[in-house]
Amino acid sequence: MKNIDLTDETPLLNVQDKPSFYIPQRYILSFMILLSNLICYLNRALISVAIIPMSEQYNWNNVTQANILSAFFYGYLVTQLPGAFISKWLGGKVVLFTGVCVWCCFTLVTPIAADLSEKWFGWIIIARVGLGLGQGVNFPAVNHLSGIWIPKPERTTQSTVTSVGLEIGTLSALIFSPLISNSIGWEWTFYIYGFSGIIWGAFYLFFTSATPQDNTFISGHERHYIEKTIQDEVDASAEANQSNDKSERSLFVQIISNMGVWAVVVAHTCFNYQWYILLSYLPKLFLYLGVSFERVGLFTMLPYIVVAVMSVVSGVVSDALINKAQVSVANVRKIMQCLSLIVPSICYFVLRFTMTNLILSTIVICVACGFCSFSRSGHNVNMIDLSPKYAGMLYSITNTFATVPGIISNLITGWLLDVAPIVDSTIPSSPWDNIFNVMIGVNLFGAVFYAAFARGTVQFK
């Protein structure tokens, strides 16, 4: 067999000893991650639509609905750190599979829990907490797998492409949930979406592995390429940042004392405040703008179509800036993250004056959501920059903090909608004005902090 002189620039498929048709295994893993993200948000986002007919059937007011929506995040908060440590111990593959199975099972039993909640409200809360427990391990496991499998030159593109699954899942929930609810009942949205994860699991177990070394389908060339590029990244950063390699200090102390980590924590937390409000309340916002329930899915899907497209665009542009324009990783992350916080803030301010115009408001919402997707090339992938080896752990730490806004934002928004009921959309001051004001303040703080302290090189070996 001909020897191959493998360098970082060697194209993966430009070799003579590969099969005539070969799909790189890291691409297959990325596709399965995309599907897991899709199923994750399919099961998560359906409640934002389903809760409308559910609240009518069970007489839930806005505060009660807010408690149901926020219950998910109590479970989500608990499994962040355990998800990362178990991924490092058992491997990301088994953790991701287990998480999908758990959250799909709780999705399947949610209609039963809703019926039982008429006697004891705790049942629906338990179902929502259980959903959060399962989904809490998704991103730590995904980041652990990506840190092992994905070389630096492809990292931003891979992260943004797999994140498209989040938008597709959200879109699917928003489009099909009203159709299913109107035709065969809202209960069937939970049954159909929950079962989708079981089907995914069968393919995932067969086609993926925890590491390149464990994969029976991978070519020697691809395995060598992955191992070499990731090791070279770690070695190069270790040389440039020898002062960061403090063997006498524990890894955990190094992490919590690193401002690059805190930049991600703050940006992730601030970003999630706006994102969880959009995810939970966008259908209600369109109802407020005058859209009927039958058409709310159609209008709500438009911003997420923009998100899916802009997410990929931001990833491709980011990698081009890093690999071709030679812009530093840190500066690219700062640019993308600040755009994801500042541009939506401008849109929220503009929305205060466009609420009487459905078309104009829809355009502004689409622009806001589209630029939100730039965070995929900001804080979201920055954790892998800081440490490919401990990316799952870093994500767990940051997402533990970033889950708190899921609880707070839902409770505050539900309270604002209940204590200041919307009677007429022409009223100059509405609960949505206050909701937007809080989102703007949180976003601007996150942008300033991240721009000041974000880093783009490996901090922990």
How many angstroms separate the CA atoms of 162 and 2, rounded? 35
**Is residue 166 within 8 Å of residue 110, measured between CB atoms?**
no
How many angstroms separate the CA atoms of 156 and 373, rounded? 13
Domains, the chain: 25-453 (1.20.1250.20)
Q: Is the pLDDT of residue 5 over 50?
A: no
Q: Is the pLDDT of residue 59 over 80?
A: yes
Per-residue model confidence (pLDDT) at position 99: 95
φ, ψ of residue 17 to 5 degrees: the values are -105, 20
Mean pLDDT along residues 16-42: 84
What is the per-residue pLDDT across 381-420, written as a single tens digit (0 to 9) for each? Answer: 888 888 877 876 787 788 889 989 988 998 888 888 876 5
Percentage of residues in the chain having pLDDT higher than 70: 89
Q: What is the mean pLDDT of the chain?
A: 85
Question: How many residues are given for the chain?
Answer: 461
Per-residue model confidence (pLDDT) at position 428: 47
Per-residue model confidence (pLDDT) at position 429: 56
What secondary structure does DSSP assign to 333-364, as a single string? HHHHHHHHHHHHHHHHHHHTTTTT-HHHHHHH
Per-residue model confidence (pLDDT) at position 388: 78
Residue 160 vs residue 85, higher pLDDT: 85
How many Cα atoms are found within 13 Å in the side-chain-facing hemisphere of 183?
A: 7
Q: Tokens 């966008």 identify what position?
A: 282
How many angstroms separate the CA atoms of 69 and 177, rounded? 17
How many angstroms separate the CA atoms of 13 and 334, rounded? 33
| Three-state secondary structure readout of 144-194 | HHHHHHCCHHHHHHHHHHHHHHHHHHHHHHHHHHHHHHHHHCCHHHHHHHH
How many angstroms separate the CA atoms of 334 and 456, rounded? 9
- Specify which of 65-74, 157-166, 225-234 reaches the highest per-range mean pLDDT: 65-74
End-to-end CA gap in the chain:
35
How many angstroms separate the CA atoms of 323 and 440, rounded? 33
Q: Is the pLDDT of residue 375 over 60?
A: yes
Q: Coil, strand, or helix at residue 2?
A: coil
**Is residue 159 within 8 Å of residue 377, measured between CB atoms?**
yes
Per-residue model confidence (pLDDT) at position 22: 81
What is the per-residue pLDDT across 89-122, written as a single tens digit (0 to 9) for each? Answer: 888 899 999 999 999 999 999 999 999 999 999 9
- DSSP alpha helices (H): ranges in 5-121? 25-58, 62-78, 80-90, 92-116
How many angstroms separate the CA atoms of 102 and 91, rounded? 17
pLDDT band at 228 (very low <50, low <70, confident <90, very high): confident
Angle at 93 between CA 87 and CA 95, to 5 degrees: 50
Sign of CA dihedral 67, 126, 121, 294: positive
How many angstroms separate the CA atoms of 289 and 358, rounded? 6
Q: Is the pLDDT of residue 3 over 80?
A: no
Residue 178 vs residue 7, higher pLDDT: 178
How many angstroms separate the CA atoms of 459 and 386, rounded? 5
- Specify which of 11-15, 66-70, 243-247 reaches the highest per-range mean pLDDT: 66-70
List CB contacts of 6: < 8 A, sequence separation 6 or more. Answer: 221, 224, 225, 228
What is the per-residue pLDDT across 138-178, written as a single tens digit (0 to 9) for each? Answer: 988 998 898 888 887 787 788 778 888 987 898 889 889 98
Q: Record the pTM.
A: 0.73
Q: Is the pLDDT of residue 80 over 90?
A: no
Per-residue model confidence (pLDDT) at position 143: 84
Percentage of residues in the chain having pLDDT higher than 90: 42
